[in-house]
Amino acid sequence: MKQAKADHFIINQEWVTPEIRAVQAGPEDVAAAQGLLFRTAQWLQSIGSKQWNQLLTGEDRHHIDEAVLRGDVFLFKKEERLAAIVILQQHASEWDRNLWGEEGHDTSVYLHRLAIEREFGGTGLGSAILHWALTGIRFQGKDRIRLDCIANNPGLNRLYSGAGFTLKGQHESGFNIYEKMVR
């Protein structure tokens, strides 16, 4: 088992599926990550969802460019083709504090912006990435992963509950919050 190590995490498992591997994004990957998020927002809009619409006007509350520079963005590639991305943020943002209140932030990793290129949609890659986030990478001093999703998207809610995340509540803004303990 190959181990990659950084100051704050250890990748225990590089391969997410037999064909898709996880790599930490670098500054050279910012444009590709932004492009995937934008295409995902366009696709969501095309199926009638307003989720991530702010990305279409240039607003990114999770600041993917800064997240890449912090080392919080992971790419999932088939050979050299980008298949998906996710942010695994080790510090609560203002958004996270608004949703979760003030408790549990020191030991939490926040999963944001799980996005999959459409050609890889429907393959189970989202579930594989969630499994990898729970077992394939370890963050020093962190014992849980938290995430949120729009409450009125049954598919996303099934994805997260099916991956073992526990629904912890619904915020007044219309977002469900989920948490799963790790290790």
In a domain, 118, yes or no: yes
In a domain, 5, yes or no: no
Q: Judge contact between 110 and 135, C-beta under 8 A.
A: no
In a domain, 3, yes or no: no
Per-residue model confidence (pLDDT) at position 17 = 95
pLDDT at 161 over 70: yes
pLDDT at 175 over 50: yes
Q: What is the pLDDT of residues 103-122, one digit of tens each?
A: 999 999 999 999 999 999 99
In a domain, 92, yes or no: yes
In a domain, 2, yes or no: no
In a domain, 160, yes or no: yes
Per-residue model confidence (pLDDT) at position 7 = 52
In DSSP terms, 77 is beta-bridged to 21, 82
In a domain, 42, yes or no: yes
Mean per-residue pLDDT, 119-146: 96
Instruction: For residue 73, give both structure tokens.
Output: 């963005």
> Where residue 3 falls among pLDDT bands split at 50, 70, 90?
very low
Per-residue model confidence (pLDDT) at position 8 = 79
Per-residue model confidence (pLDDT) at position 160 = 96
Type of residue at 172? E
pLDDT at 18 over 70: yes
CATH of the domain at 145: 3.40.630.30
Count structural domains, the chain: 1
- Asked which of 6-20, 38-52, 73-87 is least confident by mean pLDDT, the reply is 6-20
How confident is the prediction for the chain on average, in pLDDT? 92
Instruction: For residue 104, give both structure tokens.
Output: 């549990």
Per-residue model confidence (pLDDT) at position 53 = 87
Q: Judge contact between 174 and 152, C-beta under 8 A.
A: yes
In a domain, 4, yes or no: no
Q: What is the pLDDT of residues 70-88, one digit of tens each?
A: 999 999 999 999 999 999 9
Strand (E) or helix (H) holding 78:
strand 73-78
Mean per-residue pLDDT, 30-45: 95
Domain with 105, as residue range(s), is 10-181
